[in-house]
Structure 1
Amino acid sequence: MSAPIVRSRAALAELVAGWRRAGETIGVVPTMGALHEGHLSLVEGAKAGADRVVVTLFVNPRQFNSRDDYEKYPRTEEEDAAKLAPHDVDALYVPGPEDVYPPGFATTVSVSGLTGVLCGAHRPGHFDGVATVCTKLFRQTGADRAWFGEKDFQQLQLVRRLSADLDLGVEVVGCETVREADGLALSSRNVRLGAEARRAAPALHAAMTEAVAALRDGAAAGPVIDTAAQAIRAAGYDEVEYLELRAVEDLRALDRAEVPARLFAAAWIDGVRLIDNLPVT
């Protein structure tokens, strides 16, 4: 059954009010559309963890550093609605820009500490855009819980901090990264890879997996990361933007995996920026 498509804040508020009167919990899966199996796994998590589920579809201009990247981001509303149909969600919220950023909108939500490293260091303002739109969507959907993928682990930690610091009352649930059979993390940007680049792309995950094995054995991060970066470039990547070992809790840089840690990467191939991360300890 197709989910009702809700396009205005007022219409969504009416739905949410009815669910609240019935004492139902509300789960939200925020997306920018171009849905894939990774998104759908979040939807299934939400279905199991809330009485009502809202999937949001909003390509947020405030989290893009490049106008070209924003314009190239796939818009596939009809296909997305069809993919959601078997999952029986309660609403697909597709707000217009005026419902998220009405005329005169002048507020930015910024989370310090977690955002100046990794993607934040290379995409100035990106996480301010994420924090701002998540705050808006959490309030508009009345969410009790929200589901995010671990592929964007920095984003996941940011949203957890955001909800805690602003007393939003939203439990932020992280879900394991979904991958293709060859290890490539699912991403809406993967469709922009040419055939040759798509064949080479899994080298990122393969090199990271080897690096993680060495880090778990106690190796120092520097030499391990150098070797992995060389392997990624040799496989056909144009640039390794970052490849870093960082603590899970606060994303501080580590020389060894002596506390709960993850290996984070961003790399460019065929004009497409891919990110990934793997748990180490």
Structure 2
Amino acid sequence: MKCCETIEELRSTLQVWRCSHPDGSIGFVPTMGFLHEGHASLIRRSAEENQLTVVSIFVNPLQFGPNEDFERYPRDPERDTRLAEEAGADILFMPSVKEMYPKPVVTKVMISGLTDKLCGASRPGHFDGVGTVVSKLFNLVQPDAAYFGQKDAQQVAVIERMVEDLNIPVTIVACPIVREADGLAMSSRNVYLTPEERAQAVVLSHSLQRAEAWFDEPDLTVGEIRRRIAEHISSSSPLAEIDYTDILSYPDLENPSQDVPIGDLPGSSRYIAALAVKFGATRLIDNRIYTVKGR
């Protein structure tokens, strides 16, 4: 595996590879590091589907708000390097903030509509930071396909729309959420949880699992399912502080009427139940996508 820390080194490495593999495909996995099995599953899939896999590790300051955890976001570059190589990465790009943003950023990707709800509502400017860094990375790597985890479902929807709107020639591949044995979605931030918080955090996946049965009850309204999810979290976990629970169409992220019975929604359409919950200072997200059957 080739490790690159500068843009010049990355570009020259890719140029050499393209010259010797003119018909080869490039897969790309952008990450913020502190890799876990969820990231590894993306790298392995890219390696299976492409001749070359590029992984980036960059904690992007543009997507963190002033009171968020940029400085304390977990970092372990040596471990990340080992895990990326074991999973099948061919090139690892680990730039510094100064390398990615040598000057104050005056040009950004501004994203609206899809970003005024869920995480975007409580993290203003977050997805502009995501769109900006992902577009920069796409320009640098020029991959054929890019792999993202469905745990950040809003991010996947935003990036898919950005690629469509800006005619970026890359296929976005959304991969299933990877979970711990007890159901907790894998996240780099799980390391922040105390043992008691960790034990209670499984309520996120449990509530979404319960919602699957509720989506099969045609007379339940969207608002009632949303209320039941929040109630299950609050009653099951005294440490949980709910940021949001929501049910939206997917991937358009539009609000259905809260009074509409599930059975009256368009059949075969997809809806996402998404939630963000804090345990102490740690904010966790999870989601599940359901296909509405109709009556």
TM-score by length of 2: 0.91
| Aligned position for 1:244 | 246
The 1:213/1:237 distance shift into structure 2, 3 A limit, reads farther
Does the aligned pair in 1 maintain the 2:44–2:88 contact within 8 Å?
A: no
Taking the TM superposition and a 5 Å limit, the aligned residue runs for 1:32-111 are 32-111=32-111
| Aligned position for 2:141 | 141
Taking the TM superposition and a 5 Å limit, the aligned residue runs for 1:256-275 are 256-257=261-262, 258=265, 259-275=269-285
Does the aligned pair in 2 maintain the 1:216–1:280 contact within 8 Å?
A: no
Does the aligned pair in 2 maintain the 1:266–1:274 contact within 8 Å?
A: yes
| Aligned position for 1:120 | 120
| Partner SS, residue 99 of structure 1 | helix
Answer yes or no: is 1:160 the counterpart of 2:160.
yes
Q: Which runs of 5+ in 1 are unaligned?
A: none
**CA distance, structure 1, for counterparts of residue 51 and residue 190 of structure 2:** 32
| Partner SS, residue 69 of structure 1 | coil
Does the aligned pair in 2 maintain the 1:237–1:267 contact within 8 Å?
A: no
| Aligned position for 1:229 | 230
Q: Which runs of 5+ in 2 are unaligned?
A: none
| Partner SS, residue 35 of structure 1 | coil
Paired residue for 2:18, among 3, 20, 35?
Answer: 20
Task: Give the letter for the 1:241 counterpart.
Answer: D
Does the aligned pair in 1 maintain the 2:32–2:58 contact within 8 Å?
A: yes
% same residue:
39
**CA distance, structure 2, for counterparts of residue 64 and residue 252 of structure 1:** 25
Displacement of 1:154 in angstroms is 0.5
**CA distance, structure 2, for counterparts of residue 103 and residue 66 of structure 1:** 19
For residues 101-124 of structure 1, the C-alpha deviation after alignment (integer angstroms, 9 at most, x for no partner) is 121431110122111111001100
**CA distance, structure 2, for counterparts of residue 183 and residue 8 of structure 1:** 38
Superposed CA RMSD in Å reads 1.3
Task: Give the letter for the 1:82 counterpart.
Answer: R
Does the aligned pair in 1 maintain the 2:43–2:88 contact within 8 Å?
A: no
Which structure 1 residue ranges, 4+ long, deviate > 4 Å from structure 2?
none
Does the aligned pair in 2 maintain the 1:33–1:76 contact within 8 Å?
A: yes
Displacement of 1:152 in angstroms is 0.3
Task: Give the letter for the 1:109 counterpart.
Answer: V
**CA distance, structure 2, for counterparts of residue 89 and residue 240 of structure 1:** 37
| Partner SS, residue 89 of structure 1 | coil
**CA distance, structure 2, for counterparts of residue 225 and residue 249 of structure 1:** 18
Paired residue for 1:10, among 3, 8, 11?
Answer: 8
**CA distance, structure 1, for counterparts of residue 68 and residue 164 of structure 2:** 34
Displacement of 1:262 in angstroms is 1.2
Which stretch shifts more, 199-208 or 104-113? Answer: 104-113
| Partner SS, residue 283 of structure 2 | strand
